[in-house]
Amino acid sequence: MPRRRKFHYLTRSLKKQYTTRKNLMRPKVIAGNWKMNKDLLETEGLINDLKRTVNFELGSAKVLLCPPFTSLSLAKKSIEGTPFLLGAQNMHYMDEGAYTGEISPKMLLSAGCQYVILGHSERRQIFGETNELINKKAKKALSVGLIPIICIGETLEEREKNITEQIVSVQIKGVLKDISSQDVEKCIMAYEPVWAIGTGKNATPQQAEDVHKFIRKLIGQLYSWNTAEKVVIQYGGSVKPENAGDLLLQPNIDGALVGGACLKADSFTAIIKAALR
């Protein structure tokens, strides 16, 4: 993995110019993580509602729907002719085999997925996923052409101990281990402070921006500043219509991974609108 410290040598004004110029190249990416919600009928209903409410141009922004596995095929059919893109919430790193209950990358591709969420904190906390496992999954996803949305973030206890940067740093080094700069540029990183997920308590725009800036700087140190500037970094954790605008205005916040608020067309649409501002 190349280690260059270009950023270190740039003057403050050059850094600003560089950031501004490259920022224009990063699309805003809004992803809805439906988690374990919506059966087939409800899937159809939500997508039909979204077709009605998202009645505006998305420009360069991308909107991803990540329903449960059982809804992927139906969702794929329902989003035909719309700008929505499809993602899954998890996958195994093997193509096939005796892995009862698991879903392979090949299956996701055949269901029409282009994205896959990996290492969500619920998978880490409830199902014991480690950085090592997430790294295996990320490499596999990239090798078959799926774009991984790789989740990282600290717990409340870790934030209170003031070790957020250490935690995020260990997670990033682990999940990106041996992934080339070319592939890292394709990845979406999702900074999701665990204390903000599903709690209604979001990070303030400044708290989130500080960590996003740290993540970009770290990727710059591990790869190059050029690579770091291309990586889309989403914020996730109680994103709602009321806070989306301020969060998405931050220079290093390139989108949102939305849980609860993506389950209703009105609130998800309002968040998408905020990203276009």
Q: Which residue in the set 239, 244, 272, 275 belongs to the binding site for ligand PEP (CB under 6 A)?
A: 239
Query: CA-to-CA distance for 196 and 259, rounded, in angstroms?
Result: 11
Catalytic, out of 92, 120, 154, 229: 120
To the query of whether residue 192 is one of the catalytic residues in this protein, the response is yes
Query: CA-to-CA distance for 262 and 260, rounded, in angstroms?
Result: 6
Q: Which residue in the set 147, 176, 189, 257 belongs to the binding site for ligand PEP (CB under 6 A)?
A: 257
Q: 148: alpha, beta or left, given left = phi > 0 and alpha = psi -120 to 50?
A: beta
Which residue type is seen at 33?
A: N
Count of residues that bind ligand PEP according to CB under 6 A: 15
Q: Which stretch binds ligand PEP (CB under 6 A): 78-86, 215-223, 252-260, 266-274?
A: 252-260
Q: Helix, strand, coil % (nearest 5) of the chain?
A: 50, 15, 35
Q: Which residue in the set 129, 154, 158, 192 belongs to the binding site for ligand PEP (CB under 6 A)?
A: 192
Best CA proximity match to 256, nearest among 32, 2, 23: 32
- Between 71 and 181, name the residue whose CB sits nearer to ligand PEP: 71
Q: Which stretch binds ligand PEP (CB under 6 A): 46-54, 153-161, 226-234, 236-244?
A: 236-244
Q: Is 194 helix (H, G, I), strand (E, B) or coil?
A: helix
- Between 92 and 120, name the residue whose CB sits nearer to ligand PEP: 120
Q: Does 238 bind ligand PEP (CB under 6 A)?
A: yes
Query: CA-to-CA distance for 266 and 19, rounded, in angstroms?
Result: 33
128 contacts: CB under 8 Å, gap ≥ 6: none
Q: Using CB under 6 A, which residues numbered 62 to 121 contact ligand PEP? A: 120
Packing angle of the helix pair 205-222, 164-175 (nearest 10 deg): 40
- Between 138 and 257, name the residue whose CB sits nearer to ligand PEP: 257
To the query of whether residue 92 is one of the catalytic residues in this protein, the response is no
Binding residues vs ligand PEP (CB under 6 A): 33, 35, 120, 192, 197-198, 236-239, 257-261
Q: Catalogue the active-site residues.
A: 120, 192
